Amino acid sequence: MSQTDHGNFVAGTWSGPLEPPNSVPSSADVVVIGGGIIGASTAWFLAKQGVDVVLCEKGHIAGEQSGRNWGWVRQQGRDTREMPMIVESMRIWRGLAAEIGEDVGYTEQGVLYAAATDRQMNRYAARIDTADEFKVGTRMIDANELAQHVSGGKGDWKGAMYTATDGRAEPHKATPAIARAAVSKGATVLTSCAVRGIEISAGQVSAVVTEHGPIRTSTVLCAAGAWTSMFCRSLGISVPQLKVRGTVARMAPSASVLDGNLCDDRIGIRRRQDGGYTLALGTNLDHPITPSTFRFGLKYLRAFLMDMESVQLLIGRDFAEEWSAPKTWSLDAESPFERTRVLDPEPNRKVLKSIRLNVDKVFPQLADVEIVESWAGMIDMTPDIIPLIDEAASLPGFYIATGFSGHGFGIGPGAGKAIAGMLSGNDSGIDLKEFRLSRFFDGTPIRPQAGV
């Protein structure tokens, strides 16, 4: 997939320079590494507090996960530990367009997890208590009520878990718009600007070294998505992180068969603002086996057992690529981050075929509608499938926010607010202790509650 093939999708709606900056600021209060929804939202909240923040993105804003996702913004089916943050995130999404003066495609048309068996219905029903605790209005609906949401859908469903106030937004619009909002509040956003590493003085962060020169700072946020573990390893910090690939397709505009989002074992489908559908093969994902699979595998045992039906293990060239990748590098020469400006995995061709077959079966009215675009994205997941948000104990001033594990788009603005609070010392009201790094090493039981 090249930038030309995908026009607006890959380039997104980032209107800032795609060319490298001529220079970088000599200093900043905070430097954010990564221009996904987490980095951009954090920079926006910091800038609103008057913090002098510089965001460095090696490629372009939302070039990786944040521009490639399904666009679901959901509270339903989440890990209880994420609930306070997603509730706050929903509040931010609702007012986002008005606050920043830009459309991000946000609308609340509901999310449906449709179930074909009693077992699935029971599994979903078991999640209702958590939803009730946080008053998000999730409920089980029967096949008759489900039929009112899907016109002509032939899913043989018994019912669904449903949250009317869950929504969707357009990934290619949202993160660029948030990054522009950050700039309008005084942040500096640099694209084509990879961070190669960190300078340390007296045991703490003293600068980031970008490919265009150093920026003096005492506070760095590494929000580098799928690159975080590699970046941290070069600093001697172990971050358990594995990648799974999701394949996605976009259908041309058509008559509506569904206004919101629906997922079952065979399809993931959501209405797009352009009148088309974003499609996937249910929750199907591939995990390319790499040395990290063996390094961190034991910690992921529960996650794999839970998601076994939906994650395919693949052996391919990713193993050799990671094996031969450098573990450390000189800060004066080209780094791995400049060599891969945008992580752009090939979509899984078999999955694309199955998406077409399954959509035609479930929504025969869409059988003649063309699939006009396809892509893939590498999701970075932690062993318990909830994020890691913390300061590294071994390196004061170095903070990490990563591992949003397949559901970081919806929670992104809320996470950005919480992370900005952690960095600036202004309490956001969101407790981050469940997201600490030490949980993976101090004997805390690793217990994922919800899938990728």
Ligand X SMILES: Cc1cc2nc3c(=O)[nH]c(=O)nc-3n(C[C@H](O)[C@H](O)[C@H](O)COP(=O)(O)OP(=O)(O)OC[C@H]3O[C@@H](n4cnc5c(N)ncnc54)[C@H](O)[C@@H]3O)c2cc1C
- Binding residues vs ligand X (CB under 6 A): 33-39, 56-59, 63-66, 68-72, 194-195, 223-227, 231, 246, 248, 337, 377, 379, 402, 404, 406-410
- Comparison of 105 and 225: residue with beta carbon closer to ligand X: 225
3-state secondary structure of 47: helix
Task: Give min distance, CB of 309 to ligand X, in A.
Answer: 18
**Residue-level length of the chain:** 452
**Left if phi > 0, otherwise alpha if psi is -120 to 50, otherwise beta: which for 136?**
alpha
Task: Give min distance, CB of 1 to ligand X, in A.
Answer: 13
Pairwise CA distance, residues 71 & 166, whole Å: 11
Task: Give min distance, CB of 136 to ligand X, in A.
Answer: 15
- Comparison of 70 and 300: residue with beta carbon closer to ligand X: 70
- Comparison of 70 and 398: residue with beta carbon closer to ligand X: 70
- Comparison of 380 and 446: residue with beta carbon closer to ligand X: 380
- Comparison of 296 and 404: residue with beta carbon closer to ligand X: 404
- Comparison of 120 and 261: residue with beta carbon closer to ligand X: 261
Q: Do 256 and 278 contact (CB within 8 A), yes or no? A: no
Which residues on neighbouring strands pair with residue 263, listed in sequence order?
113, 268
Task: Give min distance, CB of 239 to ligand X, in A.
Answer: 13
Task: Give min distance, CB of 41 to ligand X, in A.
Answer: 8
Task: Give min distance, CB of 364 to ligand X, in A.
Answer: 25
List all residues 6 or more positions away from 411 whose beta carbon is below 8 Å from its beta carbon: 82, 85, 86, 89, 387, 404
Pairwise CA distance, residues 1 & 430, whole Å: 39
Q: Do 376 and 346 contact (CB within 8 A), yes or no? A: yes
What are the angstrom distances between the C-alpha of 137 and each of 87, 94, 129, 169? Answer: 12, 16, 10, 20
Pairwise CA distance, residues 262 & 109, whole Å: 10
